[in-house]
């Protein structure tokens, strides 16, 4: 049996917790011959499943600030791994201690540090400094690790081009989609009118590389042409980007008729939002593997999508693409969806079919098989 130590010290929220929780829930640890130990803070561990062959080890220091967590990872984690006789370290957060003392597998989940043009959008800010520090630490970890997991071919190529040393064994293992998003497929060929406008949805954090304000410009331009539609933006916000979106909404739609910002919603309530929408917009210019896009695909929504990054790799022929920094292109993509019911139906079916290839069971099986290969010396 292989003992896998998992460093969850820098997994605190969002997609990182979702990924680790779903991965551990879907894995058949007994069949894989694996025992898993996870070190993390109280909140993170509370989000993980309870099951046999999985031990959750709470470290109070990991409930504290980033410098404290970093110090624990560097100085204490190697001792913990040795005390529990771990065979391999798995770091889904993408960073490693300087001298872990055993084979290591890291995962690339955050691509912002490796896309300088995207990181520069944050200007002179704490976030920009954070991106620079993450790039340095993750670059070292990718070069040091015996195994590296990427979520998409695009992420692999982007990161690999910036490494000074070729990584060890590499695997491209996309994550999955919860089955609950595959609800009943709605008819997408209906027509729209002023009394029944096209209902667009954009779910994502409001951030400098998500371009919600450009979507707002596109929708406002279509409204001026008499196209009956509105868009709802759902998600938390990074303050400077949130201000930019709020300013755009006040300027373009002071009466609040067609531009709506809902704010963050619980993960459990998102499914209802997807089901009520007629079409989905995704205007991000930097992603690794976008969970939200996968959810919209599974729901069977026709999608107007950014053509940047890995989005065409993930969505394939299931969407209409645009440049996320050109509102006129966004408007053209939305207009195609509005005008063509047959196109909406075809895109919805193709997106849903593509989504079926993203399985948590497959992700878990391939992830732990790869970790086992590295642990057994089949890595670098």
3-state helix, strand, coil in the chain (%, to 5): 45, 20, 35
CATH number, span 2-176+359-375? 3.40.50.2000
CA torsion angle 215 344 300 199 (round to 10): 40
Residue 269, pLDDT score: 84
**Angle 247-113-152 (CA atoms, 0-180°, nearest 5)?**
100
Are 371 and 208 contacting, i.e. CB atoms less than 8 angstroms apart?
no
Are 118 and 285 contacting, i.e. CB atoms less than 8 angstroms apart?
yes
Query: SS3 of 41, please?
Result: coil
Q: Look-up: residue for tokens 């011959």?
A: 33
Looking at the chain, the domain(s) classified CATH 3.40.50.2000 span 2-176+359-375, 179-355
What's domain 179-355's superfamily in CATH? Glycogen Phosphorylase B; (3.40.50.2000)
Residue 161, pLDDT score: 95
**Angle 54-55-61 (CA atoms, 0-180°, nearest 5)?**
140
Tens-digit pLDDT profile for the chain (380 aa)? 999 999 999 888 777 888 999 999 999 999 999 999 999 999 999 999 999 999 999 999 999 998 999 999 999 999 999 999 999 999 999 999 988 999 999 999 999 999 999 999 999 899 899 899 999 999 999 999 999 999 999 999 999 999 999 889 999 999 999 988 997 777 777 889 999 999 999 999 999 999 999 999 999 999 999 999 999 999 999 999 999 999 999 999 999 999 999 999 887 788 889 999 999 999 999 999 999 999 999 999 999 999 999 999 999 999 999 999 999 999 999 999 999 999 999 999 999 999 999 999 999 999 999 999 999 984 44
Nearest of 307, 349, 339, 312 to residue 325 by alpha carbon: 307
């Amino acid at each position: 049996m292989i003992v896998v130590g998992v460093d969850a010290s820098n997994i605190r929220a969002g997609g990182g917790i979702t990924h680790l929780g779903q991965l551990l829930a879907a894995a058949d640890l007994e069949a894989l011959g694996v025992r898993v130990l996870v070190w993390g803070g109280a909140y993170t561990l509370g989000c993980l499943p309870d099951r046999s062959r999985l031990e959750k080890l709470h470290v109070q220091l990991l409930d504290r600030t980033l410098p404290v967590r970093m110090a624990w990872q560097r100085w204490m984690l190697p001792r913990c791994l040795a005390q529990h006789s771990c065979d391999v370290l798995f770091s889904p957060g993408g960073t490693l201690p300087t001298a872990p003392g055993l084979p290591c597998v890291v995962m690339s989940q955050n691509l912002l540090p490796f896309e300088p043009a995207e990181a520069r959008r944050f200007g002179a800010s704490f976030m920009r400094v954070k991106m620079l520090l993450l790039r340095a630490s993750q670059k070292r970890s990718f070069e040091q690790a015996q195994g590296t997991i990427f979520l998409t071919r695009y992420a692999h190529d982007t990161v690999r081009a910036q490494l000074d040393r070729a990584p060890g064994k590499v695997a491209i293992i996309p994550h999955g989609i919860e089955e609950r998003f595959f609800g009943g497929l709605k008819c997408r060929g209906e027509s729209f009118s002023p009394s029944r406008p096209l209902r667009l949805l954009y779910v994502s954090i409001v951030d400098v590389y998500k371009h919600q304000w450009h979507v707002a410009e596109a929708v406002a331009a279509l409204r001026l042409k008499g196209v009956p539609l509105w868009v709802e933006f759902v998600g938390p916000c990074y303050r400077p980007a949130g201000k930019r979106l709020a300013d755009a909404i006040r300027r373009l739609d002071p009466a609040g008729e067609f531009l709506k910002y809902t704010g963050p919603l619980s993960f459990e309530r998102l499914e209802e939002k997807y089901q009520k929408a007629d079409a989905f917009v995704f205007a991000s210019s930097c992603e690794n593997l976008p969970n939200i896009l996968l959810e919209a695909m599974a729901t069977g929504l026709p999608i107007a999508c950014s053509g940047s990054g890995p989005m065409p790799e993930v969505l394939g022929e299931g969407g209409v693409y645009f440049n996320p920094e050109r509102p006129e292109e966004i408007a053209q993509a939305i207009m195609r969806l509005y005008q063509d019911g047959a196109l909406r139906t075809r895109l919805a079916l193709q997106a849903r079919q593509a989504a079926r290839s993203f399985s948590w069971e497959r992700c878990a099986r391939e992830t732990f098989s790869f970790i086992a290969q590295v642990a057994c010396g089949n890595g670098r």
